[in-house]
Amino acid sequence: MNVVDVKASRHYQVHIGSGILAQLGSKVTELCHPGKAVIVSDSNVYPLYGETAAASLKAAGLQVASFIFPAGESSKCGTVYLELLNYLADNRITRSDCLVALGGGVTGDLTGFAAATYLRGIPFIQVPTTLLAAVDSSVGGKTAIDLPSGKNLVGAFYQPHLVLCDVDTLNTLPEEIFRDGCAEVIKYGILYDEALFCHLEDCGIHFRAEEVITRCVELKRDVVMEDEFDTGARMKLNLGHTIGHGVEAQSGYEISHGKAVAIGTAIVSRAAYASGKCSEITRNRIVDVLKLFGLPTATTFSAQELFTSALSDKKRSGDTVNLIVPSTVGNCEIVPTPVDALKSFIEAGL
């Protein structure tokens, strides 16, 4: 098992290993002594891992309750959030109890936001079961729910007390969802770590999961410790996302987040080459590794369509969009781009 220490506004550890879900209870009681633990999970994940998690918590002396919601992004909403808060209140959950988010990014974001706001904050544990949640959403304290007018529009920065990632849970992930998470793993290689990128080039989808997840978590930890509240360096995690969000939105969310990010990353890399910001080799390596993982690298949406959607990106400030542009593999820069120049930049990358 690997352990990564995160020293943000809360200090906590990320435990990554095989078969460690059964140790959840003992790890929680090593940290704090909650009377009750509420497992929050979705309708796909709870039947797979709920019993193991509950048995482990009970064996450590905790009372256990479970809140299970329908799987899918549409549950990351105000209605389910309020249902969860009412469930906590009805069950007399107090600040000395804790929530356990057992699932992917939807579960983690919803549970984290409930934990941040119920009684003005109660402890919560992240137990990620998707690759995306393992390498990204479970670490760093971004929690949120969606509004009808946009994703993640209501949220809080609220760090978990512990992240426990049992890599064996990834074995039951549908392949398409695993590939979506791979787009985020590739992102870390392009942003910060050429050695990680080379490992992905060599192994493709059969990369060494425990090792690669640990490396991604270390990289995310470093960014979060530098810029917990997302005012500078953390923006780089947005690589491929501004144009990717455009692809997602234009497809009516038919194209998954991971695939949209892959397309966004490929477009930005081609545009970077066209504008002299990276070499042909860098562009080709990025596009080729995305293809190696079975991810798409092109779209039929026009530059105008992508531009229109990119303008509603949360990270736009005034008339400028901060694009994350690869210089070499392992090194990207934040390029403030005037809105006027964005459409031609996208055009160059299509």
Contact flags string 101-140 toward ligand NAD, x per CB under 6 A:
--xxxxx-x-------------------xx-xx--xx--x
Residue 100 contacts ligand NAD per CB under 6 A: no
Task: Report the chain's terminal Cα–Cα distance, integer Å.
Answer: 42
User: Nearer Cβ to ligand GLY, position 136 or 313?
Assistant: 136
User: Nearer Cβ to ligand NAD, position 109 or 193?
Assistant: 109
Binding part of the chain for ligand GLY, among 2-10, 49-57, 135-143, 160-168 by CB under 6 A, reads 135-143
Binding residues with ligand NAD: total (CB under 6 A):
29
Residue 234 contacts ligand GLY per CB under 6 A: yes
Lookup: tokens for 298? 């092109």
Of 322-341, which residues contact ligand GLY (CB under 6 A)?
none
Residue 267 contacts ligand NAD per CB under 6 A: no
Residue 42 contacts ligand GLY per CB under 6 A: no
Contact flags string 38-57 toward ligand NAD, x per CB under 6 A:
----x-xx--x---------
45 binds, among ligand NAD, ligand GLY, none (CB under 5 to 8 A by kind): ligand NAD
Torsion (CA) 247, 252, 256, 259 in degrees, nearest 10: -20
For residues 179 and 185, the answer to whether their CB atoms sit within 8 Å is no
Residue 233 contacts ligand NAD per CB under 6 A: no
Q: Which of 345, 169, 89 is nearest to 242 (CA)?
A: 345
Per the listing, tokens 């929690």 go with: 143
User: How far apart are CB 187 and ligand GLY at their closest, in Å?
Assistant: 9
Residue 151 contacts ligand NAD per CB under 6 A: yes
Residue 161 contacts ligand GLY per CB under 6 A: no
Residue 17 contacts ligand NAD per CB under 6 A: no
User: How far apart are CB 181 and ligand GLY at their closest, in Å?
Assistant: 12
Torsion (CA) 175, 186, 155, 50 in degrees, nearest 10: 30
User: Nearer Cβ to ligand GLY, position 142 or 270?
Assistant: 142
Residue 160 contacts ligand NAD per CB under 6 A: no
User: Nearer Cβ to ligand GLY, position 93 or 132?
Assistant: 132
User: How far apart are CB 139 and ligand NAD at their closest, in Å?
Assistant: 8
User: Nearer Cβ to ligand GLY, position 198 or 233?
Assistant: 233
User: Nearer Cβ to ligand GLY, position 97 or 193?
Assistant: 193
Residue type at 17? G
Q: Give residues in contact with ligand NAD (CB under 6 A).
A: 42, 44-45, 48, 71-73, 76, 103-107, 109, 129-130, 132-133, 136-137, 140, 142, 151-152, 169, 172-173, 177, 180
Contacting positions for ligand GLY (CB under 6 A): 136, 140, 142, 230, 234, 237
